[in-house]
Structure formats: structure tokens, C-alpha cells
Amino acid sequence: MPLTTRHLNRYRQIAEVLVSHGFGALLAQVGLDRHLGLPWWLFRKEQSDEAEITPAQHVRLALEELGPTFVKLGQILSTRPDFLPPAYIVELSRLHDQVPPAAWELIKARIEEELGEPVERLFKCIDPVPIAAASLAQVHAATLPDGREVVVKVQRPNIQKTINLDLDILYDLARLGEERTTFGRDLLEIVEDFSVFLKAELDYRREGRNAERFRANFANERHLYVPRMWWEYTSSRVLVQERINGLKIDDIEAIEAAGYNRDHLALHCARLIIKEVLEDGYFHADPHPGNILVLPGEVIGLIDFGTVGLLQVSDRAALIRLYVMAVQMDVEGFVDQLMRMGVADINLERRPLQRDIRRLLLKYNGLPLSDVRVQEVLDDLRPILYTYNLRLPNDLWLLAKTFVMMEGVGKRLAPDFDIFAVSEPYVKHFLRRMWRPTEWGPDVWRNLTGWNDLVTDLPRQTNRILTQVERGEVGLKLHITEIDKTVHRLDDIANRVILSLLLAAFIMALALLIPTLNLTWPWGLLTWIIITSFAVMCFLALWLIISIIRSGGGL
């Protein structure tokens, strides 16, 4: 990467901060001393011993000194116990993102630049003193011309240039780390994921769409409120949203003084996260107490939708399978499921992993679910994840972080509250839903489409191969014994494939018809025919599977 003056100056700032925290030798190992043309002795300086500070604390302090990009990177890494040792994860989770607010004149200019009108015409009034200030943005209270109260989230001036510059440097450092160190595995992948995450967070239109989706998902939930977006006042760098006034969810004294029932509030918070995860697969991934408000009527108000997680149906089903296997102490099945999910490498030595998983499950085996703490389970999991290089998708790490935050909120509201008891009917409903044809039908249909393509293309591909053989373009050497038995076996396989395709097609067609039927008793003739045909086809499919197993062919 060509180094501009800005790159070089920023590189030197980064080098100075890291050297001051004792990481000079590491920078020299990746070749940054030659990269920047700096004197070698600068990279041999050690941090002062004025206080006993651990290496993990030095990492956190260095990231805080380096500014918003690196603070955000540290916050992301704090959710990756597969990449860093547990001590670093704990320390990075303490990173703070609070900075002095930018001058009002700069913020005012940014609003007018983005929305194309003077602030005095856009708002009846706007408070120049921000409600909150972070490294990327700050929030101001305002009133629209029609008198409605809103909050205005404004991106800090020049923050985009700063972040782009830092991302360029992070890419360069990640490449050097992978090339020249033994511990730099997957650094580029982490930086790429971080870059996508951070750039998405800087687009406030995306945050607005997240809020609208949550508002739609909870439209029928009377105990949760999501503020309204004002799109005519929103751009990629300015967001205007309805202001909701309430008590912070962790302000227990104020909640009790207002006469709110803490058990009810804990129940509403639990239902919120359970519905998000199991029903919608779309969850608020930053539910810290500052983003959860208690509104009149014991309604939960949710704000700040910059960070969200997405779980496919297959992800949710896999998590429930892991939970069931953990309860049943099925260690081998647990490890198999991790491999199916791509969390564990298929070439991983299973025995040590099974041993450590068994020890973990034994610790919690027999405990009432109300005594199980999510934070404690994650603390026990971290060494296993790091040791065996188990890689969960980012959304699952966000989910773990979300559960820890919500558990903390719930325990403060109602120490005896059992979220597992509340979640049980939702889990059962999800499992019942997974058996519906409308859930598994699309996957079956896609697979049938693949088989259809195979059957359609097979004659043409076979003819092409035989033509190539005839022309001498392909060498074909066969040594077949008992040719009659082999031909008979191939014929049998072909018949089974055709029968399987026909059965699958009939079952799929009938399954798609069932939801359209009137199942009110007594059934009509058409309903009897379709239900009976579906049962017969399922029986034939079962018979086919049993015959294959008995013949020694396997599944």
C-alpha cells in the first residue's frame, strides 16, 4: 500500500502508542520498523513499571488511546473468545466509548449539510448540549415544527476519513501479521468483517431500517414500544427518531418509586429477547441498560438499533439441538453437531474436545435451570473455544453477548426470575413449527430441483463423455468381474433413484396442498383423499428406506 503523509503520520502515532505499552518488539517482528523507516531503538523501548498492569490491560489502554476505530475493534474482539485468550476478552469488554462532545457549530453545520436546510427551519428548537456523546456520533434533543419531540443523532465531522485511514492501516498490519507471525491466523478475515460492520454502523439509513423492522415485528406486542422514524429528516449521517421518555431499566430506586412491578418488567424483557431469537431470528444486539427504558404502563421502550443480529431458521434449530444434547449429556452428539455447524474442524482430534465438553456438562448436569448463569457458562466455554480453535459465526457471538446483557438486566430487576421457565413454551412452539411442511417444504423443493437438474443433464453429459471416449479424447480402462451382477445392481440403483424421486415429488405436492384444506371435522372427500395419499406416500418412503438398509446399501 503506498504511504501518503497522512498514512505515515498515523502509522507513527500508532507505533508510539503501542511502543509505550510494551509492544515494540511485536511491531519489529512484523517489520513495521523497516516499513516506516523509524529508528530500531524506538521499537525496543519498554513501558514504565510505575504500576502493575497486565498485558491485557495494556492492550485495552492502547486501544482507548488510539481512538474510535480501535475502540470499536476491541469491542468486536471482546466477542471473539475463539481468537483471544480469556483474560484479554474480559479486559476488552471494559472498553469505554465516551468522549467529549464536538462543538455545536460543527454539529450544526453537519446537519445543514446533510439535510439541505438551516437548522432553524428544520426544527422548532434543538438543544446544543448533547444528551449523549460517543466516538462516532452524538445525540441532541429537538422539537419538530409540529411540536413533536425527537432525538437527532449526528455523525461526528471528519470521522469517516479517520476511520477509512485506520482501516487502511489495519488491513496492512493484518497482512504483515499473517505473513510474519505464528499467531496471526485469520487476521485479514477479522479485519474484513470488522470493516463491513463499522461501515454499516456509519450508515444511519440502515439503522433506521433496523428500527422500522423491529417496530413491525412488535406491532402487536403491547408491552414493547419502538420509536418512530422520521425519514424526511434522515440521511446516511443524520438520523431523526421519535423521543421516548422513561426510566432506565437498571434504575431500580426510580422504578420502585414509580410503583412498577419489577417481576412484570423482567417478564416483558424476557419475552422480548425470546421472541426476537426464536420467532423473528432478528435481535437487538446491544441491549445495555441505557438502551432499555421503562415507559408508563410497564411498557419496555427500546432504542439504538445500530447493532443487530440475524439468525436463520437453521441456526436456531442447531442451537436448540445443542441445548437438547447438553441436557441429555450426549457428548458425542454435541461434538458432531459442532462439526455439522462448521464450528469445529472435521479433522479436529475429537477425544480431547469430548473430554473437555464432558467436564463442562458435568458441572451443570442436574442443576435447576434457574441456577444456571449465562455469564458463568460463557466463562467456562472461553478456554475450550480458544484451545480447540472453535469458530462460531459473528451473529452467534452477538447473541451470547445479548443474553449476558439481558441476564444482567433481569437479575437486577428480579433476582429469582427464571428466563428458562419463560422460554419453555416458545421452544416447544418452535420445535412444533419445524415439523410443518411450510418450514421444511422449501428445502425439500430446492433439493428436488437439484435432482431434477441431475436427471435432466445426465443423458446429455453421458453422451458427451461417450463421444469423447469414441474420439480417443478420454482414456477409459475398466476391469469388471461378474458383469451380470454389476449390471443388475446398477439397474436396481437406478430404479430406487427414480422411485425416490417420484415419492419425494408426491409427498412434496401433497404437503403443499395440506395447509390449503379445511380440516374442520367432519372432513370432506377431497380432504380424506389428500390426507390418505400423504400417509400412503410416507409409508412407501419408509418402506424404501428400510429395504435399502436391509440390502446393505446404507442411506
pLDDT band at 387 (very low <50, low <70, confident <90, very high): confident
Residue 108 · residue 119 · CB < 8 Å: yes
Q: For the chain, what is the radius of gyration of the CA atoms?
A: 30
Question: Partners of 293 in the beta sheet?
Answer: 248, 301
The three cell numbers locating residue 218: 412488535
What's the whole-number mean pLDDT along residues 326-346? 89
The pTM for the full model equals: 0.69
User: What is the distance between the alpha carbons of residues 240 and 34, in angstroms, rounded to a whole number?
Assistant: 48
Of 121-135, 268-282, 288-302, 415-429, least confident by mean pLDDT is 415-429
In a domain, 321, yes or no: yes
| Per-residue pLDDT tens digits for 414-423 | 887 777 777 7
Q: Measured on CA atoms in the order 14, 179, 87, 21, is the torsion positive or negative?
A: negative
Same domain, 349 and 404: yes
User: What is the distance between the alpha carbons of residues 148 and 143, in angstroms, rounded to a whole number?
Assistant: 6
Predicted pLDDT of residue 343: 87
Predicted pLDDT of residue 510: 61
Residue 237 · residue 155 · CB < 8 Å: yes
The C-alpha angle with vertex 89 and arms to 87 and 94, in degrees rounded to 5, equals: 105
User: What is the distance between the alpha carbons of residues 159 and 199, in angstroms, rounded to a whole number?
Assistant: 11
Helix (H) or strand (E) holding 284: strand 282-284
pLDDT exceeding 70 applies to what percent of the chain?
76
Catalytic residues: 286
In a domain, 302, yes or no: yes
Same domain, 393 and 458: no
| Per-residue pLDDT tens digits for 35-71 | 665 555 555 555 555 557 888 899 999 998 898 899 8
Task: Tell me which range, 32-46, 116-130, 158-172, 524-538, is most confidently predicted by mean pLDDT.
Answer: 116-130
Q: For residue 212, what are the domain limits?
A: 103-156+203-243
Provide the 8-state DSSP code for 232.
Answer: G
b/e 496-532 (16+ beta carbons within 10 angstroms → b):
eeeeeeebbbbbbebbebbeeeeeeeeeeeebeebbe
Same domain, 333 and 452: no
Same domain, 397 and 453: no
Q: What is the mean pLDDT of the chain?
A: 81
Q: Smallest Cα–Cα separation from 247: which of 423, 32, 412, 471?
A: 412
Residue 292's SS3 state is strand
In a domain, 167, yes or no: yes
Q: For helices 394-413 and 262-274, what crossing angle results, to 10°?
A: 170
Same domain, 183 and 113: no
How many Å is the maximal CA-CA distance in the chain?
A: 92
- Which residues make Cβ contacts (< 8 Å) with residue 310, sequence separation at least 6? 281, 282, 395
User: What is the distance between the alpha carbons of residues 229 and 207, in angstroms, rounded to a whole number?
Assistant: 10
Q: How crowded is the C-beta side of 380, counted as CA atoms within 13 Å? A: 15
CA torsion 285-288-292-293 (nearest 10°) is -170
In this predicted model, which residue has the larger pLDDT, 351 or 31?
351
pLDDT band at 155 (very low <50, low <70, confident <90, very high): very high
| Per-residue pLDDT tens digits for 399-408 | 888 888 887 8
In a domain, 290, yes or no: yes
Output 256-262 pairs: Cβ under 8 A, ≥24 positions apart. 258/294, 260/294, 260/298, 261/298, 262/413, 262/414
Final residue before a domain boundary, out of 212, 243, 274 = 243
Predicted pLDDT of residue 555: 45
Same domain, 184 and 58: yes
What's the whole-number mean pLDDT along residues 251-270? 91
Same domain, 36 and 75: yes
Same domain, 534 and 460: yes
| Per-residue pLDDT tens digits for 446-460 | 556 665 666 666 677
pLDDT band at 554 (very low <50, low <70, confident <90, very high): very low
Same domain, 298 and 233: no
Q: How many domains does the chain have?
A: 4
In a domain, 417, yes or no: yes
Residue 173 has pLDDT above 70, yes or no: yes
Residue 455: Cβ within 10 Å count: 12
| Per-residue pLDDT tens digits for 424-480 | 777 777 667 666 665 555 555 555 666 566 666 667 777 777 777 667 666 545 555
In a domain, 380, yes or no: yes
Same domain, 186 and 324: no
User: What is the distance between the alpha carbons of residues 353 and 341, in angstroms, rounded to a whole number?
Assistant: 16
Q: How crowded is the C-beta side of 327, counted as CA atoms within 13 Å? A: 9
Q: What are phi and psi of 88, to 5 degrees?
A: -70, -35
Of 140-149, 157-166, 485-494, least confident by mean pLDDT is 485-494
In a domain, 327, yes or no: yes
In a domain, 478, yes or no: no
The distance from CA 411 to its chain's CA centroid, rounded to whole angstroms, is: 24
What's the whole-number mean pLDDT along residues 85-109? 86
Final residue before a domain boundary, out of 200, 230, 260 = 200
Provide the 8-state DSSP code for 240.
Answer: E
Same domain, 111 and 80: no
Q: Provide the pairing of β-strand 137-143 with 149-155.
A: antiparallel
CA torsion 522-523-525-526 (nearest 10°) is 160
Same domain, 119 and 233: yes
